[in-house]
Amino acid sequence: MNQYDIIIIGAGPGGLTAGIYAGRQGTRNLILDKDMAGGLGREVPAMENYPGYDMISGLELVEKMKEQAIKNCELKEMECVEEITKEDGEYRFTVKTSKETYQSKTIILATGSSHRQLGAKGEEEFRGKGVSYCATCDGFFFAGRDIVMVGGGNSALQEALYLKNLGANVTLIHRRAEFKAQKHLQDKIKENEIKTIMNATVEEIKGNMLVESVVLKDTKTGKLSELPTNGVFVSVGYMPHTDLAYQLNVKLDESGHIITDKAQKTNVDYVYAVGDVCVGLKQWVVACGEGAVAATSAFEDIQ
């Protein structure tokens, strides 16, 4: 059975950084990911706040990080971790995947998150038929067409700008009176003359074979209205992936995110967590910092 000092579960920004730092410290470490490296970071159309780059896409940055990581650690993509058990001994964790079984002295959970759904009627029915959670994946198909982007955070506004640049006629819909996104993104929305509908929620997505309209509810008056559209892009937050944390009895906060201390340690000895699965700011640069801290903590704890 293959044995490691550190097994990192998840190859997003935090996991890849942890692998880089762990390898440079001389540990034998492995990164496992159920999908391709990068996670949701691959979908980011453009970042203007990552140090060292005026602008870079998530996919481009992921590839750069992946190239650096594999110089310092093993990386196995498309290998889903199904079970983790903890026992006494030096190699206290047994990690069973869809392909193999491994042992490790420590575990870093970098399992990330997935897109939160609206919960609107018709959302699941029209998924892939006009409903999308990834502008960079599906935006090309909506050039020259009417679409709505639902959300008010940084991701929603970034993707609205990206879709506008592709030639889509974008309308931003947000359930509050003000956006949560950074001011410079709000300014760009105005500069690009992207239409906004505030204080509104999407109650229903309607159509025949494809999306044809959305039913909106005014959050102040309760009044319903129908807006014709060819597509619905959703960016209303994320759901942390904590199945493995539950298996290890790792403590979560009331929102379902992993609680860590400043050393990225969880309540379970030799288990650390980084990135979007944790309590804290959901930013690429934060995940990278947490990855570096977690790898260093794990290294120090096994010395």
- List active site positions: 134, 137-138
Cα separation of 73 and 68, whole Å? 9
Phi, psi of 157, deg, nearest 5? -75, -35
Question: In this structure, are strands 238-240 and 113-115 parallel, antiparallel, or unpaired?
Answer: antiparallel
- CA angle at 228 for the pair 227 and 233, rounded to the nearest 5°: 85
Amino acid residing at 261 = D
Q: Which residues pair with 96 in a beta bridge?
A: 83, 101
88-96 contacts, C-beta under 8 A, 24 or more apart:
91/3, 92/270, 93/7, 93/270, 95/7, 95/9, 95/32
Nearest Cα to Cα of residue 103 among 290, 270, 245, 266? 270
Q: Which residues pair with 127 in a beta bridge?
A: 131
